[in-house]
Amino acid sequence: MTSTYRCWRLFDEGGTVTGRLVRQPVDEAERAGGVLIQGLYAGVNYKDALTGLNRAKIMRRFPCTAGIEHIGRVLRSDDPRFVPGDAVVVHGFGIGADRDGGYTELMPVPADMVLKLPAGLDPFTAAIVGVAGYTAALAIDAMEHNGMTPQGGPVAVNGATGGVASLAIDMLAGRGYEVHAITRQADDGWLRTLGAAQVVAPEAIGKRPLETARWAGALDSLGGTALDALVRTMQQDGVIAAFGNAMGNDLSTSVLPFILRGVRLLGINANSPMPLRTRVWGRIAGDLNPRHAASIATTIGLADLPRAFDTLIEGRGRGRFVVDLQR
């Protein structure tokens, strides 16, 4: 092992936040307790882009390594739950905000923050899934616990070309749901290869407080007026899972869908307790395993992060950027 390792860190330099690829001493990482992980991959999420371009006050300490997820193999562990060679994932728990995050070749982390990948899920597929796919699976799991079934009717997914949404389409279709993908982007067939039965333009959704009932379920990654449109078009007892705010934090809607149709709006927080993480990652390795993961991923290196951030913020992304931490 060399004496230094690479990581992508953010610095507050006189009130201006900047990010760059730097080298850190290996011995500092080796001295830390817990689990030391050799980084393999990390996904790029919208939250990472907001942080990396200083578009939101997410990071609370500087300097700090960015990245809200990390996938790798254990190099050493003070905890008997993990042994060298274990494939693991870390996400949430404040990494990339309150503590150093996942865009790094070496990551020391407390053992209670580490989850061993379930059998059947390799590190690269786990990275394509990442926080985005975990959020999608968590949303589907919550919706099914609230009565959503493949037999109940079609499920809408808005912001359909994004990371969470594209993985949700793949997972839902694999479970037997009829999926309607809502997107402003032109339909070039990609969403249909993931399993979308229909591709719907947002402009096709009306503005009345109660629109024609269309969907038994809906996954929202946008917030704002896009979420309002879903609320107005749900079927009786429809279930919506909300987990994003790319179109805004505000929600202005009518109470009519809730009191006349019994629509349920679920908030999804991916920073879950470990027992829930373990169960949902188990589903990702099983009945929610994305069948088209390879077509969702674009692999980049650490030096390519600024370009990926720009692409996501400008709404030009499709699927998931996955950082090869050894590239």
Cα separation of 305 and 44, whole Å? 8
pTM of the predicted protein model: 0.95
Tens of pLDDT, residues 56-102:
888 889 999 999 999 999 999 999 999 999 999 999 999 999 999 99
Query: Residue 1: which pLDDT band, with cuts at 50, 70 and 90?
Result: low
Contact by Cβ (8 Å): 259, 235: no
Sheet holding 64-65, edge to edge: 16-25, 4-13, 64-65
Report, in angstroms and rounded to the nearest whole number, the Rg of the chain calculated over CA atoms: 20
Residue 186: pLDDT band with limits 50, 70, 90: confident
Return d(Cα 65, Cα 100) in angstroms, integer. Answer: 5
pLDDT of the residue at 169: 98
DSSP classification of residue 117: P
- The domains found in the chain, sorted by start residue, are 4-116+293-324 (3.90.180.10), 132-267 (3.40.50.720)
The stretch 185-193 carries a mean pLDDT of 89
176 CA to centre of own chain: 22
Gap between the Cα atoms of 169 and 218, Å rounded? 11
Q: Which residues contact 314 (CB under 8 A, 6 or more apart)?
A: none
248-307 tens-digit pLDDT = 899 999 999 999 999 999 999 999 999 999 999 999 999 999 999 999 999 999 999 999
Q: How confident is the model at residue 105 (pLDDT cuts 50, 70, 90)?
A: very high
